[in-house]
Structure 1
Amino acid sequence: MTVLDTTARTGRIAGINPVAKLGVSALIAIPLILTLDPVSASVALVLECVLFFFAGIGWREFWLRTWPVWLAAPLTAVTIALYGETSGTIYVEWFVLRISDGSLALALATFLRVLAIALPSVVLFITVDPTDLADGLAQVLKLPARFVLGALAGLRMIGLFLDDWRALELARRARGVADRGRIRRFFGMAFALLVLSIRRGAKLATAMEARGFGAPGRRTWARESRFGAAEWMLLAVGLAISGVAVAAAIATGAWNFILGPSS
């Protein structure tokens, strides 16, 4: 769940501790970062679809939330196809642009790799509430409470920043100063929002200090963050996805360890 999303989730993954979702995202991403081949990425992507069905989100919301990933993946692939390592048959060559068998293979692997790494992270964190995430980071991972609560307060302010931006835009239009000069208007509004944000941050810090958020000693929490069988099962699923993807790449000879001599 994003900062502004308060929709109740009914999927089985929705109630799982956000720390486990962080962990499964890392378990899936790390092996894919270490290799650049289409087999491991495609196998991981197919297996990840199982997680998507249990996330409790509809298809419309899925496409609305993940469209930046679907936009970034082909753009990255195009860049690799044009400027990637040249090998095999060269199809197009102009100045620094070379499209060859090698660059096209790398482009396909990159496209699948971006999808396989980014999609599960986005889908899993649609169901995350910032307060639950803060509870998990502080109670399960034992991160400093001062850092966790500060980050949580910052996340909660994002919605206010968006409202302030809209209010500034409407105010400038009402005063007749927003009819032209879009670039100058943008920088003017950005500076005004920066000043407003600094003032609000100072007030928020003072209010949090007054309520004892920075006091020394062990802190108590309103809600207990549990890490049980469901969380371990989700981590096991992430480990299984990574293991099957790596095994498939090694078995087919497609494994390409990017830190090795073959990279």
Structure 2
Amino acid sequence: MSLMTPEIRPSAIARVNPVAKLAVALLISCALMLSIDWVSAAVALALEAVLLAWCGLSARQFWLRTAPVWIAAPFAVLTTVLYGQDSGAVLLSAGFVSVTEGSVALALAIGLRILAIGIPGIVLLATTDPTDLGDGLAQVLRLPARFVLGALAGLRLVGMFIDDWHSLALARRARGVGDGGGLRGRGRRFGGLAFALLVLSVRRGSKLATAMEARGFGSDIPRTWARESVFGLRDSLVVVIGAVIAATAITAAVLAGTWHFVLA
């Protein structure tokens, strides 16, 4: 099962080697984690937003897939504003809660950083086929075939968990199991479904491991691959673009005087 759905249009990003996408995500993430300031995160987020037009995601798919990031960022901002390290002028003080200029600036930096790191990672993953990712990891990065194939098999089963969850819920409802109302009833129903899904996943994983072993997937003999993974000029250009975004964000923060190396 592909991570890409029929609603995702073929795009230039979708045709890029997954190793290049992984390198871009790591470059931007590492650059933004070197300092906690709002300028570098804002610049990176603005440059990423310009490139989202080529990702191939519809507006609906984009908002649905990135919804966890948009939900997490405001909560992180609010928590940091209320309980972050105090510095500068006090803007609000109520008991053990105090809001200062420093905590507001820190909250803004953290919120923008979550968006700048999370959104491109989700978008790049959504436009990546698991098989292409496995081919790239094994052929371009030369990772062990046993690790790559095992991870690929597990990744392909992730989509089945949702179908299994719905099937188990319908089966339990048809049998009248876990129909109790209230918070306690919903908790028992969730616990029962989670345990049933765990048992089903363990059984399926055991069968899959046996089947893969029988077909020689655990052999130490060098493998051949059905599809060649090529890291070409286009992929190198994508990595360069990621490096430019990271370098531009750092440069802007240094010039603005907001750069603070976290390890210093």
TM-score range, shorter chain: over 0.9
Aligned match of 1:210: 214
Q: What SS does the aligned partner of 1:86 have?
A: coil
Q: What SS does the aligned partner of 2:99 have?
A: strand
Aligned mates of 2:9, 2:222 — CA distance in 1: 32
Displacement, 1:95? 4.0
The answer as to 2:194 corresponding to 1:195 is: no
The answer as to 2:242 corresponding to 1:241 is: no
Displacement, 1:216? 1.6
* 1:93-112 matches, cutoff 5 A: 93-112=93-112
Q: What SS does the aligned partner of 2:219 have?
A: coil
Preserved contact between residue 45 and residue 116 of structure 2 (Cα < 8 Å): yes
Number of residue pairs matched by the alignment: 260
Aligned match of 1:167: 167
Name the CA shift for 1:234/1:68 in 2 (closer, same or farther; >3 Å): same
Aligned mates of 2:160, 2:21 — CA distance in 1: 27
Aligned mates of 1:14, 1:214 — CA distance in 2: 30
Q: Which stretch shows the higher mean deviation, 149-158 or 91-100?
A: 91-100
Preserved contact between residue 40 and residue 249 of structure 1 (Cα < 8 Å): yes
Preserved contact between residue 8 and residue 58 of structure 2 (Cα < 8 Å): no
Displacement, 1:96? 3.2
Aligned mates of 1:208, 1:99 — CA distance in 2: 57
Please, which runs of 5 or more residues in structure 2 have no aligned partner?
A: none
Aligned mates of 1:125, 1:70 — CA distance in 2: 17
Sequence identity (%): 57
Aligned match of 2:31: 31
Aligned mates of 2:112, 2:186 — CA distance in 1: 37
Aligned mates of 1:63, 1:157 — CA distance in 2: 24
* 1:149-188 matches, cutoff 5 A: 149-180=149-180, 181-188=185-192
Scaled by the length of structure 2, what TM-score is found?
A: 0.94
Preserved contact between residue 24 and residue 238 of structure 2 (Cα < 8 Å): yes
Displacement, 1:8? 5.7
Aligned mates of 1:6, 1:22 — CA distance in 2: 23
* 1:140-151 matches, cutoff 5 A: 140-151=140-151
Aligned mates of 2:222, 2:152 — CA distance in 1: 19
Amino acid at match of 1:116: A
Deviation digits for residues 44-73 of structure 1, max 9, x if unmatched? Answer: 111112321111222222111111111111
The answer as to 2:207 corresponding to 1:228 is: no
Deviation digits for residues 211-250 of structure 1, max 9, x if unmatched? Answer: 1101121001110011000110000000101111111111
Q: What SS does the aligned partner of 1:92 have?
A: strand
Name the CA shift for 1:44/1:4 in 2 (closer, same or farther; >3 Å): closer
Aligned mates of 2:79, 2:2 — CA distance in 1: 30
The answer as to 2:65 corresponding to 1:65 is: yes
Aligned mates of 1:189, 1:46 — CA distance in 2: 42
Aligned mates of 1:2, 1:94 — CA distance in 2: 51
Preserved contact between residue 3 and residue 155 of structure 1 (Cα < 8 Å): no
Q: Which stretch shows the higher mean deviation, 72-81 or 87-96?
A: 87-96
* 1:109-148 matches, cutoff 5 A: 109-148=109-148
Displacement, 1:174? 0.8
CA RMSD of aligned residues (A): 1.5
Aligned match of 1:88: 88
Q: What SS does the aligned partner of 1:99 have?
A: strand
Scaled by the length of structure 1, what TM-score is found?
A: 0.94
Aligned mates of 2:102, 2:214 — CA distance in 1: 61
